[in-house]
Amino acid sequence: MTNRLRLIQCGIGGFGSGWLHDFVRPSPDFELVAVVDPNEATLHTQAERAGVPPERRFTTLAAALETVEADAALTVAPPAFHLEHARLAFARGLHLLTEKPMADTLDSARAMVRLAAERNRQLAVSQNYRYRPVIQTLRRLLAARAAGEPGHGHIDFYIASDFTGTFRETMAFPLLVDMAVHHFDLIRCVTGRDIVRVTALGFRPAWSWYAHQPAAKVLLELEGGMPFSYNGDWSALGEATNWNGDWRVQCAEGAVRLSHDTITIARSGRWNRDTVTETQDISPLALTERAATLHAFAQAVRTGQPAETSGADNLNTLAAVFAAVRSAEEKRPVEVSELL
């Protein structure tokens, strides 16, 4: 593609290295013009591998912006740095794509959205789980009322993740803030409803290797009064779900289930007599995961129309996450509107 947008990537170690080599470099939408990382060893090792010359490697975004002309920035830095990167990028007229969560606090996220609006720049969040064929198929089936009107739902998420040595090992509420942000966003995506009330119990299992609470039991109320529950544990040894979690959405005519990239619809009579279960075909997507979020961001920049996962929309996801944190801390139900 000609006229590719010029991109600076901030954060190229760890998860950022995957962004750099697997998505940014091959992107038909973007030309990588600089990379930023405060760790000089990481900076030079990853930049060398990606073919980025020394004069386009920087330890701060501010230094990069003084030297390089760009249209947009991608930040894969820890969430506490996202607001700083937004301020720098928007002040220079750049658009910004940020890894989730959008920021480490709701105040910082709101500030990012406000700055983007003031500068008329696009702010998008990489909620890449939305762009999975199985998720988009689930969304389509529920919208089409394939098993009747949805009434309530549940997600189980159990993976024994080991982030020893990273910021996730010591961060407060790592499951809720860093992982459930995906699942809460998916609930909004597939149901088409925002989360309005949250009751959460956070806890740290005795065997956990996390400093804080890697597990939670959460009850969500969606718009229209629809209940949705969530169980998660990032230190759950034994049988694992996949990253999407295991879903059941109970509908008027049966149950829609998602587990390990398979969707089934089961229908029955009362006492579950004559149960019939049908496996659903998964609709393919032209682009998936981070490639899709990167392309959607490029389209937002080119058209001026916000991406589906714009910062303004994503405030609704992040507010629900921090409502869960407040509920766990204060041991009470929390209205999401309290935070918005």
**Coil, helix or strand for 157?**
strand
List, in order, residues 6 or more apart from 106 with CB less than 8 Å away.
315, 318, 319, 322, 339
Length of the chain counted residue by residue: 340
pLDDT value for 3: 87
- The mean pLDDT value for 60-69 works out to 97
Dihedral sign of CA atoms 26, 27, 31, 33 in order: negative
Mean pLDDT computed over every residue of the chain: 96
Q: Rounded to an integer, what distance in angstroms lies between the CA atom of residue 273 and that of residue 56?
A: 66
Are the C-beta atoms of residues 106 and 82 closer than 8 Å to each other?
no
List, in order, residues 6 or more apart from 254 with CB less than 8 Å away.
147, 148, 265, 266, 267, 268
- The mean pLDDT value for 106-122 works out to 97
Phi, psi (degrees; rounded to nearest 5) at 160: -85, 75
Strands ordered across the beta sheet of 30-36: 57-58, 30-36, 5-10, 72-75, 95-99, 123-126
pLDDT value for 272: 94
pLDDT digits (tens, 9 = 90+) for 21-38: 999 999 999 999 999 999
- Percent above pLDDT 70 for the chain: 99
Are the C-beta atoms of residues 75 and 81 closer than 8 Å to each other?
yes
Dihedral sign of CA atoms 36, 42, 44, 45 in order: negative
List, in order, residues 6 or more apart from 211 with CB less than 8 Å away.
169, 170
Residue 86 tokens, joined: 């937004």
- The mean pLDDT value for 180-197 works out to 97
Domains and CATH numbers, the chain: 5-121 (3.40.50.720), 130-286+320-338 (3.30.360.10)
Q: Rounded to an integer, what distance in angstroms lies between the CA atom of residue 104 and that of residue 22?
A: 26
List % helix, strand, coil for the chain (3-state, nearest 5). 40, 25, 35
Are the C-beta atoms of residues 13 and 42 closer than 8 Å to each other?
yes
Q: Rounded to an integer, what distance in angstroms lies between the CA atom of residue 4 and that of residue 73?
A: 13
pLDDT digits (tens, 9 = 90+) for 139-181: 999 999 999 999 999 999 999 999 998 888 898 899 999 999 9
pLDDT digits (tens, 9 = 90+) for 83-96: 999 999 999 999 99
Are the C-beta atoms of residues 110 and 118 closer than 8 Å to each other?
no
- The mean pLDDT value for 220-232 works out to 98
- pLDDT band with cut points at 50, 70 and 90 for residue 1: very low
- The mean pLDDT value for 194-219 works out to 97
pLDDT value for 105: 93
pLDDT value for 312: 97
- The mean pLDDT value for 271-292 works out to 96
- The mean pLDDT value for 273-292 works out to 96
